[in-house]
Amino acid sequence: MVRFTLPESGLVAMPIVANSSLPTFDDLRRQGEQILPLEEALDQDIRELHVGLLNMMPDAALRVTEQQYLRLLGSANQIVQIFVHPFTVPGLARSPATQAYIDAHYAPFEQLQEEGLDGLIVSGANVTSPSLDQEPFWDPLRDVIAWASDNVTSVLCSCLATHALVQQFHGVRRRPLLSKRWGVYEHRVVRPEHPLMHGTNTRFDVPHSRWNEITSQQLREAGIDVLVESADGDFHLGTSPDGIRMVYLQGHPEYDATSLLKEYKREVTRLLVGELGAIPPLPEHYLVPEAARIVHDHLEVAITARDAGRELPPFPENRVVGLLDNTWTDTGKAIFNNWLGLIYRLTDVKRGVPFMSDLDPDDPLGLIAERHRTS
């Protein structure tokens, strides 16, 4: 076995390992991402990280979500191989084709419980019930997190997962918004000294797309450490008091530059086929004026064609894509880089053991002890 050594710079970017038949590995390789073949990974003497991806997204977004998180994990500047293990929970509505894909390429949760995970990412989900605790994913998600709380170094939650878990753990219920929070918003780091924020900009953008919110004030009162919020105080990123065991996100650093555009395209299509009764608003702070004009001109032509019974023109996606700016990915990479680095630093060398023996699992970073010493 070849011993892996660091270059003089001290850091290299280690790719995601193609550790299963998941087609997303080939998709990302074709897009220019570094994907390490399994046989090469096994020939390197290095403690790899095993990260679970609990993917609860609906069928249309299942593979896109895989790509977004795998790309973000793989592009984080780490010296460690990353084995990503997608899985899902029972009870979610699936088409036969999607269920066959899951059966072929996703790991059973029971297998991951036996083998062990170092980190866990929990995606959002499609909500169909008036209350989150009535959703089919509610009980299975609680079971996964109950296991992870004892066996995984850190759990990172996306928007809807954050809403569900702060309700389960802290009784904090999300609040409906009068209009959709949809667009790219300026944010500010309020805890720059926190290890997750090392090397990040103090101000940066984050995409949001949601009809509900939890506020920074709600979370602070529940004991959550708020690290990042928008310029007007909207919550984005926070952690459990220990600083690492639970990481909560309300925004979407994993989004591609085109994610909000594709979402807007779906809303326009719904309008034109009669599923929406009003023109959807543009995502805020997302399109430059030229791109917005292209979209408005398309809507005018498309609505006129629909009303006249003529064939609808195609959405001008290719014309708009070249005008999009991405103002959030670099900081998203830095945060994920810090997250992976902390997991690598804290996790025992033996897979399935979440912390090294000399660490307190309830305070692995020593942040709680430090607060007590300085209070």
Measuring CA to CA, how many Å separate 22 from each of 64, 108, 112, 262?
A: 13, 14, 16, 24
Question: Residue type for 9, please?
Answer: S
254 included as an active-site residue: yes
β-pair type (246-249, 154-157)? parallel
Compute the Cα dihedral for 197, 200, 203, 209 and give only its sign: negative
Please identify which of the residues 48, 135, 229, 254 carries the catalytic annotation: 254
Question: Residue type for 174, please?
Answer: R
Rounded-to-integer distance, Cα 294 and Cα 306, Å: 18
Residues 6+ away with beta carbon under 8 Å from 232: none
Contact 235, 215 (CB under 8 A): yes
CA 340 to chain centre: 14
Contact 154, 244 (CB under 8 A): yes
The residue whose two tokens read 């064609």 is 305
The residue whose two tokens read 């984080």 is 76
Please identify which of the residues 85, 187, 236, 252 carries the catalytic annotation: 252
Contact 173, 213 (CB under 8 A): no
**Burial track 291-327 (b if 16+ CB lie within 10 A, e otherwise):** beebbeebbeebeeebeeeeeeeebbeeebeeebeee
159 included as an active-site residue: yes
Residues 6+ away with beta carbon under 8 Å from 1: 43, 44, 45
Nearest to 244 by CA among 152, 313, 137, 333: 152
3-state helix, strand, coil in the chain (%, to 5): 40, 20, 40
Please identify which of the residues 159, 208, 213, 298 carries the catalytic annotation: 159
Residues acting as catalytic residues? 159, 252, 254
